[in-house]
Amino acid sequence: MTYTNFTVDTDTDGIALVTWDMPDRSMNVFTEEVMNELDKIIDQVVADAGIKGAVITSGKDSFSGGADLTMLQKMLTVFAKEKVKDPEKAARLLFDNAGRMTGLFRKLETSGKPWVSAINGTCMGGAFELSLACHGRVAADSDKVKMALPEVKVGIFPGAGGTQRVPRLTDQQQALQMLTTGQTLSPQKAKSMGLIHEIAEPKKLVETAKAMIRNGLKAVQPWDEKGFKLPGGQIYSPAGFNLWPPAIAILRRETYGNYPAAAAILKCVYEGLLVPFDTGLRIEQRYFTEIMQSKEAAAMIRSLFVSLQELNKGARRPAGVPETKFKKIGILGAGFMGAGIAYVTAKAGIPVVLLDRDMESAAKGKAHSESLVSDQVKKGRAKPEEKDKLLSLITPTADYADLAGCDLVVEAVFEDSAVKKAATEQAEAVLKPAAIFASNTSTIPITALAKNSARAKNFIGIHFFSPVDKMMLVEIILGKKTGDKALATAIDFVRAIKKTPIVVNDTRGFYVNRCVLRYMSEAYKMLIEGVPAPMIENAAKAAGMPVGPLALTDETAIDLAQKIMKQTIKDIGEKAVDPKQMALINTMVDTHGRFGRKNGKGFHDYPQKPAKKKLWPGIKDLYPQLKPEKVDYEELKQRLLVTIALEAARVMEEGIVTDPREADVGSILAFGFAPFTGGALSYIDGIGAKEFVKIAKGLQKKYGAEFKAPKLLLDMAEKGETFYQRFDPYQKGEVKQAA
């Protein structure tokens, strides 16, 4: 038989090698066609008396990325349509569809012939669940091999047997940690947990897998044998009593109940281990069906998988512009940001010229890369030869002539218009006419900076976030005269360094900083009202934010907040900044010398490690304190999310961001806007524009004009629209694609 996505070759020992290699895909993923073909292959292996067993591997560098989540999205779309006609029938259809992969993997492991998974590279989600259903598992001894069940990160959970097989192969504590965090495992870690059997040299991977079958591998899983005992002991045992009560408490502490899928994992494991395996699979299928219907799953799948993937593939890239293959990139300014940009560029294998006012400063910037990559080597995440290669790609210099031949120059000098003007003019004097010039400014409008350029159409903003090596988002800012070539080149660069680009039109603070400043400002207001600082920080985390607004101010620096406020007053006028908030920041900086994390003193105190930061006791003396019982905690949570979401809506109304995917993905990647909501705009869509406007009006009445809903939202509320209807990103001729 011939297949589109697989080849099946049987050797003289009667071992079938099933090679998964999907045409026109960079990575194998589970689709309906793939599942149908695998079903037939299982039948073929069973029916052929000459086949003793089968090895499944990949014909690509990676094994598989798991299920194509756009398939799940389609499943949910069908469910939504059917639900209107017949809710019971729709739920049954969703349940049956959710169990398709479960049934297929169960069929494989009970087929009566041994199967071995030969894992040659990245093996995620449904692909790892397929491997767990195989009777033997061998992984290549390579840095490319990463195994995980990461579904919880997109609002769902491993629903093809993962919650039942993992805790039957390893102890329950390690199983829960892996499943609820989406933890990535190396071959060594997976073997120590009992999730794989062997680690082989990459060239001997398939042969090692075949040898398992030749050496008499049982075609029966441990849990299907009589007398099977759980590796970590029963649920109702001393070990179980020590694990489960704290596990539930830890999950609550880490998620604040915002992630239904994480809670469902605990339920699946707990209930599933009390019953026979097939009943456990049925329990998992029921919970998976329930989670698939949650608004959290729909929002997270859309933003954190589909939209993220589309943006990473260049969804906003202008059509018809040839792709730039970067031969040389220049970075102006070797300070913390410039040095970070040089590091990620060299890490992508692109030669970098790192320029500063003198060689000493430029060399110091290169030393930042050396420090970062040395740390990676020390942790075993990079090899010494990779360090040498990366550092060889960075050329420190003080001579602008060394920028000759650069395809792109990124300016990351001091935030001063005069300094930026001089840097732009000196760089352009040696650049080829087609080269693109980008500024990493975070405050000065790109259109204003482009006036320093002799070729404004080749001038663009590329705004990185700190620290550059860790932050995955990059804002690309269009000036009024920026051309398509500049936009395409900027997107190509951001993709080359494996970051996510969002395209933003020019405005003060662009998109991310406008939203972040609202978040911080609301916290200052709360402090002034007398809300105890611990309640503010805890409310933010309970609302789903990774960092409280006061801690975030410390990270970005309180004296920077002071500079931004003063510059805003200078540019726009006194009314642009609340005088009470200005007074608070002035008191922190000028009276108490508390600049933030950088000097160990901010809204928090930062003692030397291993001691943890703690709120500065002096905060409570700044304003008369309300008694905690007088504070509406739920309202605090609401205020912090609503103020950000309103700013995101204003940005859309003003045409600063035009694509809701970018607003949502940007809000999550840049400052961690409650990921379970799907992002700032999906948060509004999830509540409904009409209900959201009602909430905003209530907050405006109590707390002021910053909660005033923009006209766009009022119009959407009246028409019953969502952002994804009003600003449908797919009207632009873009097609949804999977990896």
Per-residue HEC secondary structure of 589-644 comes to HHHCCCCEHHHCECCEECCCCCCCCEECHHHHHCCCCCCHHHCCHHHHHHHHHHHH
pLDDT for 738: 33
Task: List the Cα angle 691/694/698 in 5-degree steps.
Answer: 140
Question: Do the domains 6-293 and 513-726 sit in the same CATH topology, yes or no?
Answer: no
Estimate the share of the chain in helix, then strand, then coil, as percent rounded to the nearest 5.
55, 10, 35
The CATH class of the 329-508 domain is alpha beta
Computed over its alpha carbons, how large is the radius of gyration of the chain? 28
The reply to whether CATH 3.30.9.10 applies to domain 513-726 is no
Instruction: Confirm if 170 and 195 have CB atoms less than 8 A apart.
Output: yes
pLDDT for 735: 36
Report the Cα–Cα distance between both ends of the chain, in Å, rounded: 27
What is the C-alpha to C-alpha distance for residues 392 and 384, in angstroms, rounded to an integer?
12
Instruction: Confirm if 489 and 408 have CB atoms less than 8 A apart.
Output: yes
Q: Structure pTM? A: 0.91
DSSP run (H or E) holding 461: strand 459-464
Three-state DSSP class for residue 382 = coil
Instruction: Confirm if 587 and 580 have CB atoms less than 8 A apart.
Output: no
How far apart, in Å, are the Cα atoms of 75 and each of 36, 125, 149, 290, 559? 16, 18, 21, 13, 50
Evaluate the omega torsion of the peptide bond into residue 607 and state whether it is cis, within 30 degrees of 0.
no
User: Which tens digit of pLDDT belongs to each residue from 363-395?
Assistant: 999 999 999 999 999 988 888 999 999 999 999
Which is nearest to 128 in space by CA: 182, 208, 51?
182
Q: Catalytic residues, which ones?
A: 463
Instruction: Confirm if 554 and 604 have CB atoms less than 8 A apart.
Output: yes
Pick out the chain residues at pLDDT < 50: 733-739
What is the C-alpha to C-alpha distance for residues 644 and 386, in angstroms, rounded to an integer?
41
The contacts of residue 649 (CB under 8 Å, 6+ apart) are 681, 684, 709, 710, 712, 713
pLDDT for 83: 87
Instruction: Confirm if 156 and 164 have CB atoms less than 8 A apart.
Output: no
The DSSP call for residue 577 is: S
> What ranges in 473-557 are assigned the alpha helix state H?
484-496, 512-529, 533-543, 549-556
Question: Per-domain residue ranges for the chain?
Answer: 6-293, 329-508, 513-726
User: Which tens digit of pLDDT belongs to each residue from 458-472?
Assistant: 999 999 998 999 999
Which is nearest to 400 in space by CA: 375, 427, 428, 379?
427
Which is nearest to 364 in space by CA: 384, 345, 336?
336
Token pair 């935030």 is at which residue? Answer: 415
What is the C-alpha to C-alpha distance for residues 614 and 606, in angstroms, rounded to an integer?
7
> What ranges in 628-688 are assigned the alpha helix state H?
633-653, 660-671, 680-687
CATH topology of domain 6-293: 2-enoyl-CoA Hydratase; Chain A, domain 1 (3.90.226)
DSSP run (H or E) holding 449: helix 446-450
- In terms of DSSP bridges, do strands 459-464 and 473-478 run parallel, antiparallel, or are they unpaired? antiparallel
The alpha carbon dihedral of 218, 220, 222, 227 has a sign of negative
Q: In the predicted model, what is the mean pLDDT of the chain? A: 94
- In terms of DSSP bridges, do strands 136-140 and 115-119 run parallel, antiparallel, or are they unpaired? parallel
The contacts of residue 547 (CB under 8 Å, 6+ apart) are 540, 541, 555, 672
What is the C-alpha to C-alpha distance for residues 138 and 509, in angstroms, rounded to an integer?
51
pLDDT for 733: 40
What is the C-alpha to C-alpha distance for residues 736 and 733, in angstroms, rounded to an integer?
10
pLDDT for 377: 92
